Amino acid sequence: MRSRPLMTIVGVTLALLLGVAGAACGDDDTNGGANAPDAEAYYTDVDRIQNSLTEQLDAISEQSDAAYGDPDKALTSLSAAESAGSAALEDLQALEAPSVAATAHADLVFASEDLVAAIQQLIEDLAGVEEGPDFESFLADVLQPDSAYSQAAVEMRDACSSMQAAADNSRVEIVFQCPV
């Protein structure tokens, strides 16, 4: 079926951006010092921001249902996903993570930067692609395990899992919607 590869790309992109949003949170109070960020507040903010981004991405997903097989509509959907991801990345970069989440936070920032860059490259590469064999070839290339997008997706899954592990190690009962 022609529409399946784009559905996979957009779906995985949206899921991974949820992981980005899941990390974009939290800042002050106590945890290891008078001015150190509070881990519980940090992870609670993660959940709040994740829920907000989920609403945005659900709307993009509904919009992208019409995109399958149409490069112009796919471009619109990917652009909206990139915009949401970039906003979440900006929020993430502005945070001071608690020491218990510092490594996971840094890994997530790095993975988020790579994923946003990969999506930006997809958007650039998709511009001018015609419906039909060119579009099918574009989708097949994106889904290759060695594509920049696929590599960024794996990196994001790993970083999201690390963030969940940091929350678990902090004994904060929260479940991030990390992609499987």
Q: Is 127 part of any domain?
A: yes
Number of compact structural domains in the chain: 1
The 10s digit of each residue's pLDDT in 50-105 is: 666 677 777 887 776 666 678 888 888 889 989 988 888 888 888 788 999 899 88
**pLDDT bucket at 8, cuts 50 / 70 / 90:** low
What is the rounded CA–CA span in Å between residue 11 and residue 5?
10
Q: What is the pLDDT of residue 77?
A: 86
Say whether pLDDT at 141 is over 90.
Answer: yes
Q: Is 174 part of any domain?
A: no
Residues 159, 161, 166, CA angle at the centre, nearest 5°? 95
Residue for token pair 């099918």: 136
Q: What is the pLDDT of residue 29?
A: 39
For residue 62, how many other CB atoms are within 10 A of its CB?
10
Q: Is 93 part of any domain?
A: yes
- Residue ranges making up the domain that contains 58: 4-25+36-169
Q: Is 66 part of any domain?
A: yes
> pTM (2 decimals)?
0.78
